[in-house]
Each structure stands twice: as C-alpha cells, then as structure tokens.
Structure 1
Amino acid sequence: MGYGIALRVWGDYACFTRPEMKVERVSYDVMTPSAARGILEAIHWKPAIRWVVDRIHVLNPIHFENIRRNEVESKASARKKSIYVSEERQQRASLILKNVQYVIEAHFEMTEQCGKEDTPEKHYNIFLRRARQGQCFHRPYLGCREFPANFELLGDNKVTDTYESTNFGEIDLGYMLLDQTFHVNSKGQVEEIIPHFFRAQMINGVIEVPPLEEAIR
C-alpha cells in the first residue's frame, strides 16, 4: 500500500448519478468511489501514480431533494463543435443530495509510467502541499460539474465521527458503481468502457471500498 491521505469534502448539493437511470438523473445515496477518485485527481494527478480509494466516511445525514434542470440533448465533439441551446434544450427532473459531507481515505500506487524522478515521497508531498493550499488543476465537483466541492486535508489521517456511528449500525446500499476500465485500440482510441460494481455496505457510517482487481475477476 502506498502513502495514505484523508480528505474532507463537502458541498451544498451533489448528484452521483445511477447509470441505470436513462432519462432522469437519480443520485446514489452516497458518494461513489469513482467520484472520490476524481476529486483526488483534480488536486494532483500524474501518469506516474494511480489513486486508490480505501474507504468513504459519511459525515452528514442523507437528504434528497427534487429539482428540475435545463440540459442539452447532445454533447460537443470533434464532429459537432457547436451546440444551439435554444434548439436542444430539455428540462429534466433530478433527485439529488443536499448538504453532503464526506471524508475520503485513499492512497496512491506507482504505475509503469513512472520515471527515475518519480518517487512516492515526491508525489505524496506535492499532494499534501496542494491540498493544504487549496490548489487544484480544476475545481473538483460532487458528481456533476455544477455542484462544486470544497476540500480540506485532515492531518494524521484524523477522521471525525460519522453521523451514524451510534444510531443505525449497518445499512445495505445495494450495488454501486466502483469504477470503469477502458479498452484502447492500437490508435489510442477507446473502443469499450466496462463498468464495475460492488455491493456497498455502510457500517457505522463507513463504506469499505474493495480493490478494483476483485471486481474485475
């Protein structure tokens, strides 16, 4: 296991969209491991390291809120560089989370792309410095870009008590998206995206995240 960190993240709203919902957005009850990894990568990421989420602590009670949002039907691409919002606007309902707060416990591992100058100590210290100073490559978000995430590094991996630590015990959250793997062809183009799921159990407000290798097997 590599160098571990604990990062507190919070925000007014969040939406960790369930992939089985094709039309309306419906959030998972809590943050997904892939969303947690995205927040860490927004603070510091290089090809030399790979972030691994170990556990997620749920600090606030789970509250949902129904909203309606304007979205566009298509996505911008190399072929379609322009989107006319007035022609492609769609109003959709969303079931999102309100007033969320989590602690992400994670570590990073060195990849095959690391060079001689890449050491665990170097990347660990870079992350600590950037997280303490509030620096990031892009603003991290809670599932959707319109829901920005605030973040704070916790010293010595100190995690505050979760809201369910004495009240509810164990909660079965059902199957949750763990992460995705990408199959790339010889031209560097993504040919297939394979989602991987795990059975999420929240015990005393803490979700233990299994290694991705276990989901792939």
Structure 2
Amino acid sequence: MRNQIEFIVHGKYALFTDPISRIGGEKFTYQVPTYQALKGVVESIYWKPTLVWVIDEVRIMNPIQTEVKAMRPTKYQNETNDLMYYTYLRNPAYQVRAHFEFNENRPDLAYDRNEHKHHNIAKRAVERGGRRDIYLGTRECQGYVEACVFGSGEGFYDHYGELSFGHMFHGFTYPDEGDSESFQARLWTPVMKEGVIQFKRPEDCDIIRTIRSDSMKEFKQGVNFTSVEEEYSLIMEEGEQ
C-alpha cells in the first residue's frame, strides 16, 4: 500500500487501559494494544494535521503476560495518596503496519499535500526511533521504535490459530477526522489470527457513539504550522552537513 510504514515497538511494560477499570481507579490492561494506542505511537513518530494515520495491522511478537504493581496515585477528592493495584503487560513487542491518507476535512492545508515528501520524512523518523517520546498506553510505560519488515522473525503466536478478545475500545474520532463537529468513541471485536490482528477502519467499527459536540482546531502557517516543503528542506540541509 502507498504511504506505508512498518516498525516494531517494544518496551518493558504496557498499559492499554480497559475503560471499565478506570472507574474504580485500579487500572487493568487489555491483552492487546488498541487502535488508538498504536495510532498514538505512529503520531509520535511523525504527524502533521495534513495527514490521517490509519493502522492496518499489528503482529503480537511476545507472549501475553501480565504483572501487578502497587501504585500510590493521588485521590480524586483531595491531594492525599491512595493505594491502588495496576495490572500491566510485561515485555510487550509489536510489529505494526500503518499508512497515511490526506485529511479531507482540511482543505485549508491542501498546499501541504506532498505525498512523496511526507512519506520520506515518516520513514526517516521511523529509522530514528520517532520524533517524540513513545509510550505504550500510559506515560510510565516507555516504548522504543525500530524499523522492521512486517512479518519477519518468529512470533509467539505464529501457529496459534484464531483467538477473539470480545468487545474492546477501538479509538476516538476527533472532529477534524470525522464530521467536523463531534467527538466520538468507537468499539469493535478484534480477532487475532496466527498472531496478527487486522484493524477495521474507524468508520467501519461495530459501535460508534457521540460523546460531545466539539470543533476543529485551526492551523495557520507561520503561527502554529510548518509546511512539509520547509521541513524537507531543513532535513536535506542537515543531511548534507
């Protein structure tokens, strides 16, 4: 597929929080990463409002193992600490395949739609481990990105067959990627086949619910936006030096 990147992301721990477990404060991780979590990883590698990243598939490389940790977060009602138990994934590693499309809700940024330069910058960012810090679900779970060929190497679930994870959170649809006027949440039922989960596109999810009305953020060149042409020129200058 055009505009595609492939990489492996790994870390010591991950916490892809099940929303149900947030109510009591004791967070419990999903067994596999959500679409939204992986999209966050990709956007930390490279993102512009001109683009919309689509996560195509993820390959689970290591066995799904959990570890419980005692935490002392701040209480909701005051500033004292409480004792909570968080359940993390241990030693997670995922091969990810994703591609970008131009954001049709941003006609004001049409001048920035240089497919070739965006793709080159994204691939370069993958090779360098991303532009921003990578997190696996939550900030305390540091992740690391490396370029790879999707499907290479041996994965723990390569010959496992088929496994369903039931209803899971898929992701959020922000106004600038949806109907331009509402913030939505999506649910779906992922199925892992031979270690690989192929994601549905956001608009094809089983359940989509509107959370609230919202509006798109405005971007202006020279104020809070830099065109890909300027970025690409700077990168080429750095490479020559």
Cα contact 1:29–1:62 (8 A) shared by 2: yes
Structure-1 separation of matches of 2:57 and 2:72: 34
1:80 aligned partner: none
Question: What's the CA shift for 1:193?
Answer: 4.0
* 1:158 CA displacement: 5.2
Q: TM-score, normalised by structure 2?
A: 0.76
Contact 1:2 1:109 in 2 (8 A): no
For residue 159 of structure 1, report the CA deviation from its aligned partner: 3.4
Q: Which has the higher helix share?
A: 2
C-alpha distance in 2 between matches for 1:53 and 1:172: 19
Over 3 Å counting, the alpha-carbon distance change for 1:115 and 1:182 in structure 2 is: closer
Aligned residues: 199
161, 164, 183: which one aligns with 2:157: 164
Counterpart among 177, 190, 200 of residue 190 in structure 2: 200
Deviations 1:41-65 (A, max 9, x none): 0111000000000111000000011
Distance (Å, rounded) in 2 between the aligned partners of 1:17 and 1:208: 20
CA positional deviation for 1:182: 3.6
Query: Alpha-carbon deviations, 1:117-152, whole Å to 9, x = none?
Result: 42111111011111212241x311000101010110
- Provide the residue aligned with 1:145 in structure 2: 139
SS at match of 1:53: strand
Report 1:152-191 matches (<5 A). Answer: 152-155=146-149, 157=150, 159-166=152-159, 168-182=160-174
SS at 2:200's partner residue?
Answer: coil
Gaps of 5+ in 1: 76-83
Cα deviation per residue 1:11-59 (whole Å; 9 max; x = unaligned)? Answer: 0100000011112101000111110000010111000000000111000
2:214 corresponds to 1:214 = no
CA contact (8 A) 1:69 1:94 kept: yes
Cα pair 1:6 1:159 within 8 Å, conserved: no
Q: Which 10-residue stretch deviates more, 24-33 or 126-135? A: 126-135
Cα distance in structure 2, aligned partners of 1:144 and 1:44: 19
| 1:1-40 to 2 correspondences below 5 Å | 2-21=2-21, 22-23=23-24, 24-40=26-42
Contact 1:165 1:204 in 2 (8 A): yes
Higher relative contact order (CA 8 A, sep 6+): 1
Question: Which residue of structure 1 lines up, in the alignment, with residue 234 of structure 2?
Answer: none
Moved over 6 A (4+): none
| Shift of residue 169, structure 1, vs aligned partner | 0.7
Mapped partners of 1:69, 1:197: distance in 2? 29
Q: 1:90 to 1:2 in 2, by over 3 A?
A: farther
- C-alpha contact (below 8 Å) 1:6/1:158 kept by paired residues: no
- Which consecutive residues of structure 2, in runs of 5 or more, have no partner in the other structure? 210-241
| TM-score normalised according to structure 1 size | 0.84
Cα offset for 1:160? Answer: 2.8
Identity of aligned residues (%): 30
Q: Which amino acid aligns with 1:163?
A: F
Query: Which structure's residues are more often strand, by fraction?
Result: 1
* Deviation of the 1:68 alpha carbon: 1.1
- Aligned residue identity for 1:6: E
Deviation, structure 1 residue 165: 1.0
